[in-house]
Amino acid sequence: MGTNMIQTTAHFLERNQLYKTEKPYSLRFSPPEGFPRQSTKLEEHEIDVQDVRTAGPLSYATEGCTVLDFQSLMEYDDYYDEEKVKDVYLREVANLLRDYFGASKVQIFEHRVRKRHVKFPLATGESYQYDQPTSVTHVDTTLEWVLSMVSRLNPERSEEMLKHRVQCVNVWKPIKGPVKDWPLALCSAGSINPTEDLEPCDLVYADYVVENMQIYHTDKQKWFYLSDQMPNEAWIFLQADTQPGAVPGEPPTEIVPHVAIPIPEVILGEYPPRESIELRALLFYETSQ
């Protein structure tokens, strides 16, 4: 294996006949006694992950993801100040996305800070103060869920907005660097078979439901990560797109699965726990592109 490649592990959805008749789900709250918390069955696979730091930059046009140089005005402590995140960081990212994609409107609908607990990935039975890295491969949304989000956020204008192209992207970056602890790995959109590798899944919260995509493993999938990622290096990756040829209910195209991965030679606790911020945004265009 070359110096720009590591071998690690990630969790994938197990191929199960159950999902042919029952949609997989995962409850994000404590259910009544005796009610299964999830129907998703996972399996661990080894994956080869290429380091784009040494292998060369990625093309968003072909891979569905890329790393941008993003110089934020935010200081470390600012990311734990919700008002500063909303007033400064979200505005900065909206401008970044508008400039990079040429979108006429950017609508950020979710953001979160993740800070790994020192015990993760071991379960402690406690509620963590911050969201933890996600060790299960997934895509954040389905196209159907994105279209419903457009309607919920823009009830009076959604019909007109949906006449043109809409994209959903994720922007992810560390708060501290360099990241040596559970970095983010992404799968090339071109290496995914949309009819064979993806399974819609309901993430059920106490008051709402998110439909995402769980991933089946194949050896054809091509994974990337950025070693020693710094706070000025932001991943941007596609999660849903009404074009080209995207049809609700049909297998999606050009979307990017992702997952947090352990670095094999790194001993748990050897480096500071990963701290990161991510957001999901809708991109609108005045004309279909």
- As a whole number, the mean pLDDT across the chain is 91
Domain boundaries, the chain: 23-29+40-284
Helix, coil or strand: residue 172: strand
- What pTM was computed for the model? 0.92
User: At residue 119, what is the residue type?
Assistant: K
Give the pLDDT of residue 129. Answer: 77
Taking 70 as the threshold, does the pLDDT of residue 245 lie above it? Answer: no
Using 50, 70 and 90 to split pLDDT, how confident is the model at 248? low
200 prior amide bond cis, ω within 30: no
Phi and psi dihedrals of 51, rounded to 5? -85, 115
* Domain 23-29+40-284 is found in CATH 2.60.120: yes
Give the pLDDT of residue 165. Answer: 92
Q: In what order do the strands lie in the sheet with 105-115?
A: 65-69, 233-241, 166-174, 275-284, 105-115
Region 126-148 average pLDDT? 90
Most confidently modeled range among 28-37, 83-92, 240-249? 83-92
CA distance 211 to 216: 16
pLDDT in tens, 151-207: 999 999 999 999 999 999 999 999 999 999 999 999 999 999 989 999 999 999 988
Show the beta-strand stretches assigned E in the chain.
Answer: 5-13, 25-27, 42-51, 65-69, 105-115, 138-139, 166-174, 184-187, 198-204, 209-215, 223-225, 233-241, 258-260, 275-284
DSSP label at residue 276: E
